[in-house]
Amino acid sequence: MKYLYCPRCKKLNMKPWFAIRNRCQNCFGDATAIQVPANWMTYLSYALYVLIPALIAIYVTNNVKNYLYLAVVLLVVMMIVSFVDIGRGEKYAKERIKVANTDVDVFKRRKWR
């Protein structure tokens, strides 16, 4: 997950997966990309992205409602975990911005661009 920080707007936005350039979504100026390391919540979300459609496919082929109920419960769990993971990533990125605002040399030395 990556966040973009625009020094002109002073805003932090999540970088869309389809964006190639590091551009601010508001002013279209150059922005600094901040890479957020993945943790167990990220990998759990990825696993649920695969597991939930598989459970729905099993329900469609076998017509056993327990698979559908399990898929709905896991979908709610996935939404909660994804929400918490995005909040964690935003907090991590905001900590890096404080360093960037106070000391630009440290920001460049740690290669947070």
Residues 20-67 have pLDDT tens digits of 888 888 888 888 888 899 999 999 999 999 999 999 999 999 988 999
Domain-wise residue ranges, the chain = 2-109
Residue 25 CA to chain centroid, in angstroms? 16
Q: What is the pLDDT of residue 99?
A: 53
| Cβ atoms of residues 35 and 89 within 8 Å | no
pTM of the model: 0.71
